[in-house]
Amino acid sequence: MYIKYFIVSFIAIILFLGCGSTVNRDVEGIITDEDQFTSEENIDKNRAELYTQGEVIFKDKCEGCHGSYGEKKALGKSVIANMQEHELIEAMRGYKSGTRNNYNMGALMKGQVGNLSDEELTSLGVYIYDLNKERLTLAGKGHKLYVLKYEESCGMSSNDFASQKSQSEWTKTDDTGTFIDELQEICPNVTFKKLYEKYLYAFVYRYASDSGNIVSE
């Protein structure tokens, strides 16, 4: 009889622990994959060098108009963050040669890329593409985390949550180190973990009020 009681109790404990940890296991499944799109361990050395070179050029020549990730409409014209690598490289080659004049920006863009070598143009394409591929993946994981851990307690949809601020406002919270505090003000009923910060930030930035993006629920 005691053995039977022990076995029943043991099974009940296992079931309880298993059910109680389901959410945690699901969350771990979202965030344990390393986000290494730009890591030298996962791309060949040449691409890693191109990425590093492209980052320097982008910050010097492109970031002022196109934004930190190419997400802004440069002079109100075009967004480059969603372009494929080959599209970026061919566009810059066209501006350099003078054969491309999209939005009448040919002369301006030729001034920006005209003195760059083909390798430097390629490095820009690699940097912009890989940077945004990483951000899209982080945003997707951030969305999953929000739905799984916070949506019900916050009482607002993913779109409503992310659109509480504009992209520049979300960026300011990141720059000032107040991002998690801002989330707590929006959703005081839950505790946002620092561990999830980069995922949640990528998510709300991508779907901010002025982003033009809408979450597919």
| HEC assignment per residue over the chain | CHHHHHHHHHHHHHHHHHHHCHHHHHHHHHHCCCCCCCCCCCCCHHHHHHHHHHHHHHHHHCHHHHCCCCCCCECCCECCCCCCHHHHHHHHHHHHHCCCCHHHCHHHHHHHHCCCCHHHHHHHHHHHHHHHHHHHHHHHHHHHHHHHHHHHHHCCCHHHHHCCCCHHHHHHHHHCCCHHHHHHHHCCCCCCCHHHHHHHHHHHHHCCCCCCCCCCC
Give 131's contacts (C-beta < 8 A, 6+ positions apart): 38, 55, 69, 70
CA dist., res. 65 & res. 52, Å (int)? 20
Q: What is the pTM of this model?
A: 0.59
Q: What is the pLDDT of residues 47-77, one digit of tens each?
A: 899 999 999 999 999 998 988 888 787 887 7
pLDDT at 15 over 70: no
Q: Which of 126, 108, 110 is nearest to 43 (CA)?
A: 126
> What pLDDT sits at residue 16?
47
Q: Which of 179, 185, 187, 183 is nearest to 156 (CA)?
A: 187
What are the residues facing 74 on neighbouring strands? 78
> What pLDDT sits at residue 68?
83
> What pLDDT sits at residue 17?
47
Residue scoring higher pLDDT (126 or 19) = 126
Mean pLDDT of 129-152: 92
Q: What is the pLDDT of residues 149-174, one digit of tens each?
A: 999 999 999 999 999 999 889 988 98
Please give the domain boundaries of the chain with CATH numbers for all domains: 45-132 (1.10.760.10)
Give 174's contacts (C-beta < 8 A, 6+ positions apart): 201
CA dist., res. 163 & res. 21, Å (int)? 31
